[in-house]
Amino acid sequence: MQPTKSEPHHPTDALQQIPVVDWHDLENDRIKFLQDLRYALSECGFLVLTNAPGLHDEFQQRAFREVRGFFDAPMDVKKTAHISNTPYFRGYTLPTPADRGHGQVIENFQYGFEQAPPCAYDDVSQPIHKRLFRGPNTWPKSESMPGFRPLIEDLNLTYHRLTHQLGELIVESLGEDPAEFRKYFDFDDPDLAASLNHNFGLDVFSESTQKEVQAAYAKFDSQNVGTHIDGPPFVALLINDRPGLQVVAGEGHWMDAPVTCRTAAGEYDVPVIPGSVIVNTGGTLMHLSEGRYSATLHRVNTTLIPDGETRVSMPYFLIPKMEGDLVPFGKSAASSAGAAGYKAGRDRGANACVNRMGTFPQVTRRWWQAEFKALSENQREEVEAETSAAYKLAAERGKRYQDKFSPEQ
């Protein structure tokens, strides 16, 4: 299944923008599609997928219209869908405080597949991931936004189909059997952590804090601006309607991601590619590929959101089956410490659950306090190991760029 033609030509200067892969090439030139996919994920970890099935501009315009309608609704309406109403981490979270020192103010809405809980949330006879990830969504109680829930359900299914199609193609681009993807992702029995994010611009900060935020983002390795990798998923998908997302490029600088849907007038300093979707590698793919495709560090840069505007993004994180080890493609067993910082024998279900608990403490305090206390330390060590592995792989990639583009060459 490995492409047999020669590698496609790529620019001979250092990587300056996220690589673009055209879905239409699947039919027109499949070899090129797989080569472009491999180049993007091995040399950047991010790609812009154009002509993505189901995510054309008309659909994205509808999506951002409905989602902005929700975020623009009165707070009393949004609170009817508050995330702490149930133990399943579904629903609305209030904006984060502007003075907490993280460089971002964000409110969001979490959703998943509409599912009946398999058991009571506190039934300790069942694994924690089955008690936490499976359940109903929490919808706003209002007749003023009749299109919101249908849009989210359409978006969910569109993303879900694309994740599975693209996931198998990514495995094929590695020269492995696409059936390997289905070992970890069951189309009919998924676990999901999807979000609608609403980021505010600098204007919500005080004047003195604005300077602190700008100074933090000016540093390449600032610790308080939300730089991270997406650990649990295989890949993450995202559409967005304003600038802000940044990715660590191969040679060690921040690179701007494009806007996938223009919903406001004006020009941006980043490209607008209507009908596209941004794709990035997660920690699961980093491990299963043994570091051939590394999870890439990224962040949302508040200072890039245009003055007086806000940014909406819709990331999608499909989670692999949570029982058993992640065995790298083509291997018969997992090693005790993989190339991507993954430890064999870990409780991946508990890891994914604690990730949610730490992100949304308002739910944890009400429903999962004891479980979080018991599991969080081990999860913290695992996250640090995976993030360290991602930094190491990024540094190796950067060294390749330095060597390749050195003036002495």
pLDDT digits (tens, 9 = 90+) for 157-171: 999 999 999 999 999
Tokens coding 183: 């070992």
CB-side neighbour CA atoms (13 Å) of 237:
28
7 within some domain = no
What's the domain range around 85? 20-405
What is the rounded distance in angstroms from the CA atom of residue 32 to the CA atom of residue 36?
6
Please indicate, yes or no, if residue 43 is contained in any of the structural domains.
yes
Minimum mean pLDDT range among 73-87, 132-146, 201-215, 333-347: 333-347
Task: Give the tens place of pLDDT for each residue, 205-248.
Answer: 999 999 999 999 998 878 778 888 888 899 999 999 999 999 98
Q: What is the DSSP letter of 14?
A: P
Measure the CA angle with vertex 177, ends 176 and 180; round to 5°.
Answer: 100
Let me know if residue 6 belongs to a domain.
no
Of 139, 118, 131, 119, give the one whose Cα is nearest residue 87.
131
Q: Is residue 172 part of a domain?
A: yes
Q: Could you give the percent of the chain with pLDDT greater than 90? A: 69
Cβ proximity of 243 and 273 under 8 Å:
no
With contact defined as beta carbons under 8 Å apart, do 174 and 289 qualify?
A: yes
In the sheet that holds 106-111, the strands lie side by side as 20-22, 46-50, 277-281, 235-240, 310-319, 191-200, 106-111, 91-93
Q: What is the pLDDT, as a whole number, of residue 315?
A: 98
Coil, strand or helix at 27: helix
Q: Count the domains in the chain.
A: 1
Q: How far apart are CA 298 and CA 301, in angstroms?
A: 9
Q: What is the CA radius of gyration of the chain?
A: 21
Q: Which helix (H) or strand (E) holds 47?
A: strand 46-50
Neighbours of 398 (CB within 10 A): 17
Pick 133 or 13 by higher pLDDT: 133
Q: Does residue 14 lie within any of the structural domains?
A: no
Q: Is the pLDDT of residue 3 over 80?
A: no
**Model confidence pLDDT, tens digit, residues 184-209:** 999 999 999 999 999 999 999 999 99
CATH code at position 148: 2.60.120.330
CA-based max dimension of the chain: 66
The pLDDT value given to residue 158: 98
Separation in Å, CA 25 to CA 28, 52, 67, 154, 288: 5, 11, 31, 25, 26
Task: Give residue 118's pLDDT.
Answer: 95
Amino acid type, 116: A
User: Band of the pLDDT at 11, cuts 50, 70, 90?
Assistant: very low
166 domain-assigned: yes
Residue 285 has pLDDT above 80, yes or no: yes
Confidence at residue 31, expressed as pLDDT on a 0 to 100 scale: 97
What integer pLDDT is reported at residue 332 of this predicted model? 75
Q: Do the domain assignments include residue 4?
A: no
Q: Is residue 9 part of a domain?
A: no
299 phi/psi in degrees, rounded to 5:
-160, 165
Q: In which band, very low, low, confident or very high, does the pLDDT at 99 lie, cut at 50, 70 and 90?
A: confident
